[in-house]
Structure 1
Amino acid sequence: MKPVSTNTLFKHCYGRYAIAAVNVFNMEQVHALFAAAQACNAPIIVQLTPAARNFGHPEMLHAMVSAAADIYPDVVHAIHLDHGNEAHAASAIAAGYNAVMIDASHDPFEQNIARTKAVVELAHVHGIAVEAELGVLAGVEDDLSVDEAHAKYTDATQAKTFVAQTKCDSLAVAVGTSHGAYKFSGKQGLQFDVLRQIQVALPGFPLVLHGASLVDPAEVERINAHGGTLRQDASGVSVEALQRAIQLGVCKVNIATDLRLLWARVYREFFHTQPDQFDPVIPGKIYMEACRQLLTQRFEVLGASGKASDLKTMIA
């Protein structure tokens, strides 16, 4: 099935369920994502970061996603550039992505507006949706690092002005999450009062939750039991918090850290317990299946399972 616009996905899911936007870097993750989506009849957003594009080459990565769409023909999906700048966005637009993110959230408000507006004008000519970000998340994602002391919640009044001036199609908001495995080091959790204020200011407008992995403590424990040194206070977004956020306008939930933790656990555990092994295929199969199971659970949590059929009818 050909990829669809994220605008189509968000129009269908707003207030009812959320779309899992999954960052992929390798073949195993792409296979697992599409296999889980097809089995669950769940729509997905395939996210490609600049770091992932640099790692595997943009054409190679895009070709894997296109091949997966042929292998799993029933999957309703969109291809999205995550955390890009103007050059990344222009490249993704030329490559035929369905959506791009321009991340100018670290710039002053007016500069963020100007940079976002320029990308929106370029993308909309080609019928491509644009995600922007307002407010700053703490933590680490690829080569992005923001000290927690500089994290800033999204202001609802600014959000309304920002969307009106930029004409962006969705907005990533800072409401208490952070990138990486240590999302709630202070145990503060999602700020639902902030999210509610944003929804009131932007009724019906699709909001995006970055840093939304669940971060299973059991995975961290298993990583450390086989040579890892991850901090034990890792904490992610709870199931209850995600489901409450969906009711407050969150349509897109980004997932990256959970897949990375799972990768570290599977490979550390495999080679530690079977030191005579050196074949990448064996742990690769284990990771692919574990990743498929994890994503299946996420689709259930987000309420997306079974929703692709309705979308196909709407698209047709």
Structure 2
Amino acid sequence: MLVSTKKMLSNAKNKGFAIPSANFIDQISVISHIKTAEKMNLPLILSYAQAHSVYQSIEEAAMLGHFYIKNSNVPIALHLNHGMDFQFIKKAIQLGFTSVMIDASQKNLSDNIAITKEIVDFAHKRNVAVEAEIGHVGTGMNIGQGETDVDDNSIYTTVTEAKQLVEGSGIDSLAVSIGTAHGLYKGIPKINFDRLKELSQNISIPLVLHGGSSSGDNNLEKCALNGITKINIYTDFIANAYTYLKKTDTNNYFDVKNSLSQSMSDTLAHYYKIFHTQSLS
């Protein structure tokens, strides 16, 4: 069933767990994600990123998402991840996405607030939830074994600026930067749990974590149990699919499809357990 992230994340915040935001780029990933959610009887945030329009158009993503969600018996939100401009986000809303993210995190604070508020004003009139980002989650750096720092483009979220963005824009959830990065790491990132605690204690709306892939099970479990309500996963789906495929000794197209689907299902099932995701009922 198609739902908004608003009540979903509020439920997760109150009960102390996180919900996977599983990015999809094609029909195989959509079906795999939803079947896994149904098998485990758990909620899901099915996410499509603007950057992935090179793989499938937003119209195709909306069509696939709505078709498979409509036939599902678990609560699923259709979410636009990292929307970068008003026109693309507006199109997502018109196509029936139930929540959208505006990523103006690389702008200065006043511009971030102004841009985000414009999206909020448009979306809320149409009962669509809005996520924004303060601080900036960069890309992983392969700097050797052990703990890994995020790159120079990553900026940690401060409580003061987070409050200003929340109060000035009226957003429903906030993506924070506490040490994760997009992409793969070599080693495990160092998460600033003290900053997460400060943010969790001072920000009233649900908090979101980007760059969940390869961030370490212990790190992500601790985030889920200490204030993060939504954790984005993308790279691990793609990396694990390739790993499974290399182990599949076949020249049969359908075996290849099954291998890719199984890898994504196993990845999502793993993170459901790490995030301590619960049923919303």
Whether these two folds match at TM > 0.5 is: yes
- 2: CA distance between counterparts of 1:64 and 1:150? 34
- 2: CA distance between counterparts of 1:211 and 1:60? 25
Q: Which amino acid aligns with 2:104?
A: A
1:294 aligns with 2:267: yes
Q: Secondary structure at the match of 2:139?
A: strand
Question: Residues 55 and 188 (structure 1 numbering): CA distance in 2 closer, same or farther, change over 3 Å?
Answer: closer
- 1: CA distance between counterparts of 2:51 and 2:244? 22
Of the three residues 131, 154, 178, the one matched with 2:181 is 178
- 1: CA distance between counterparts of 2:167 and 2:70? 38
CA deviation map 1:139-192 (0-9, x unaligned): 17xxxxxx811211001111011100011110000000000002x76x552100
- By how many angstroms is 1:287 displaced? 1.2
1:165 aligns with 2:184: no
Query: Does the CA-based 8 Å contact 2:136-2:153 persist in structure 1?
Result: yes
Q: Which runs of 5+ in 1 are unaligned?
A: 141-146, 214-235, 311-316
Of the three residues 140, 147, 156, the one matched with 1:153 is 156
Q: 2:277 aligns to what?
A: 304
1:55 aligns with 2:55: yes
- 2: CA distance between counterparts of 1:244 and 1:293? 21
Query: Does the CA-based 8 Å contact 2:189-2:215 persist in structure 1?
Result: no
Q: Secondary structure at the match of 1:87?
A: helix
- By how many angstroms is 1:22 displaced? 0.5
- 2: CA distance between counterparts of 1:188 and 1:75? 33
Q: Report 1:190-205 matches (<5 A).
A: 190-203=191-204, 205=205
Query: Does the CA-based 8 Å contact 1:157-1:201 persist in structure 2?
Result: no
- 2: CA distance between counterparts of 1:292 and 1:247? 23
CA deviation map 1:214-260 (0-9, x unaligned): xxxxxxxxxxxxxxxxxxxxxx2222222221233211010101101
- 1: CA distance between counterparts of 2:64 and 2:54? 15
Task: Give the TM-score normalised by structure 2.
Answer: 0.90
Query: Does the CA-based 8 Å contact 1:159-1:201 persist in structure 2?
Result: no
- 2: CA distance between counterparts of 1:242 and 1:136? 18
Q: Which runs of 5+ in 2 are unaligned?
A: 141-149
CA deviation map 1:288-311 (0-9, x unaligned): 122112211211211125x14x1x
Query: Does the CA-based 8 Å contact 1:23-1:256 persist in structure 2?
Result: yes
Q: 2:80 aligns to what?
A: 81
CA deviation map 1:9-59 (0-9, x unaligned): 011111521111000001111111011100101100000011333422222
Q: 1:41 aligns to what?
A: 41
- 2: CA distance between counterparts of 1:239 and 1:199? 20
Q: Kindly, what percent of the aligned residue pairs are identical?
A: 29
Q: Secondary structure at the match of 1:127?
A: coil
1:259 aligns with 2:237: yes
- 1: CA distance between counterparts of 2:189 and 2:88? 34
Q: Which range is displaced more, 58-67 or 76-85?
A: 58-67
Q: 2:146 aligns to what?
A: none
1:282 aligns with 2:255: yes
Bigger-Rg structure (1/2): 1
Q: Secondary structure at the match of 1:253?
A: strand
Question: Residues 150 and 265 (structure 1 numbering): CA distance in 2 closer, same or farther, change over 3 Å?
Answer: same
Task: Give the TM-score normalised by structure 1.
Answer: 0.81
- By how many angstroms is 1:268 displaced? 3.7
Query: Does the CA-based 8 Å contact 1:99-1:131 persist in structure 2?
Result: yes
- 2: CA distance between counterparts of 1:34 and 1:212? 19
Q: 1:100 aligns to what?
A: 100
Query: Does the CA-based 8 Å contact 2:221-2:275 persist in structure 1?
Result: yes
Q: CA RMSD in A?
A: 1.8
